[in-house]
Amino acid sequence: MLVSAKEMLDKARAGKYAVGQFNINNLEWTKAILLTAQENNSPVILGVSEGAGKYMGGFETVSAMVAAMDKSLGITVPVALHLDHGTYEGCYKCIKAGFTSIMFDGSHFPIDENVAKTTELVNVAHGLGLSIEAEVGAIGGEEDGVIGKGECADPDECKMIADLGVDFLAAGIGNIHGKYPDNWEGLSFETLAAVNEKVGDMPLVLHGGTGIPADMIKKAISLGVAKINVNTECQLSFAAATRKYIEEGKDLQGKGFDPRKVLAPGFEAIKATVKEKMELFGSIGKA
Ligand code: 13P
């Protein structure tokens, strides 16, 4: 059931668990995530970066695929279709294409410009029943060519952006996209606690969910994180399972070259990763 992400995240924040945002790249990704959510009675957010949207043929294609698949597979758990790290223009494209949630990433703008653009987009999104996420303090690492330095957010700036009426807020707390380097210092719980205190009961978003140890995830949830984004980890599981299939020469046996067979191990691997995350985040049975 396609819905905005507001209600599921308000419930998660109040119930002290988090809903996973899993980024999609194609039909297999989408199907694997939707089925895993349904099988585990968990709400879920499908994240689409601008690059992945382009890769899949544009936001209209993505929106039509997700809406049709949600219906055809008989998905009854709440599902939000969410633009990940949207530009100002990208937000408008996704609103038009039928997404149910957007993220405006104005973190690289001077704060005044971030405020002005976020205010405008909050009004437009809410007028149409969509939820909206904003970001303060850059998330480090590289995602789809967007490189962030990984600064910790300023709690006062978080309060300023939260007060504009956004539904959930991503605050940089030393998290980065992609794999964490060996010398990573870990999440800054000091920053998270300070942000949480300033923004009241607003659901907070933890980007860069790949590779964050379970104890840090649990502590982040206890400090107001209600949405955790995972992208790279599904890509790694998919690639490893596909590599194994090819290296074992299974594509050369019988009809093993059939794309439905070649992509099957990767599909199952995504399902296993998503389930593992849902267990860790505590969203199973919460639909
Ligand atoms: P990872 O790729 O590190 O899991 O991060 C995903 C993310 O934050 C998407 O916005």
User: Measured at the alpha carbon of residue 100, what is the angle toward residues 94 and 105, in degrees to the nearest 5?
Assistant: 55
* Terminal Cα distance for the chain, rounded: 11
> All domains of the chain, ordered by start, with CATH?
6-232+270-281 (3.20.20.70)
Q: Answer yes or no: is the C-beta of 49 below 6 A from any ligand 1 atom.
A: no
Cα(251) to ligand 1 centroid in Å equals 31
Q: Answer yes or no: is the C-beta of 230 below 6 A from any ligand 1 atom.
A: yes
Residue from 83, 232, 277 whose mutation best tests the ligand 1 pocket (most atoms within 8 A of CB): 232
Three-state secondary structure of 45-98 = EEEEEHHHHHHCCCHHHHHHHHHHHHHHCCCCCCEEEEEEEECHHHHHHHHHHC
Residue from 104, 210, 270 whose mutation best tests the ligand 1 pocket (most atoms within 8 A of CB): 210
Task: Please give the structure tokens belonging to residue 274.
Answer: 């998503």
Q: Answer yes or no: is the C-beta of 236 below 6 A from any ligand 1 atom.
A: no
**Beta bridge partners of residue 83, listed in sequence order:** 48, 102
User: Measured at the alpha carbon of residue 32, what is the angle toward residues 28 and 34, in degrees to the nearest 5?
Assistant: 120
Residue from 207, 235, 236 whose mutation best tests the ligand 1 pocket (most atoms within 8 A of CB): 207
Residue whose CA is at the smallest distance from ligand 1 atom 9? 229
Q: Which positions are catalytic?
A: 84
Q: Answer yes or no: is the C-beta of 273 below 6 A from any ligand 1 atom.
A: no
Helix or strand or coil: residue 192?
helix
pLDDT tens by residue, the chain, 287 residues: 999 999 999 999 999 999 999 999 999 999 999 999 999 999 999 999 999 999 999 999 999 999 999 999 999 999 999 999 999 999 999 999 999 999 999 878 888 898 999 999 999 999 999 999 999 877 766 656 655 556 789 999 999 999 999 999 999 999 999 999 888 889 999 999 999 999 999 999 999 999 999 999 999 999 999 999 999 999 999 999 999 999 999 999 999 999 999 999 999 999 999 999 999 999 999 99
Distances (CA, A) of 87 to 29, 83, 126, 211, 240: 23, 9, 18, 26, 32
Cα(258) to ligand 1 centroid in Å equals 31
Residue 150: predicted pLDDT: 64
Contacts of 242 (CB under 8 A, 6+ apart): 262, 263, 265, 266
What values do phi and psi take at 137, rounded to 5? 80, 125
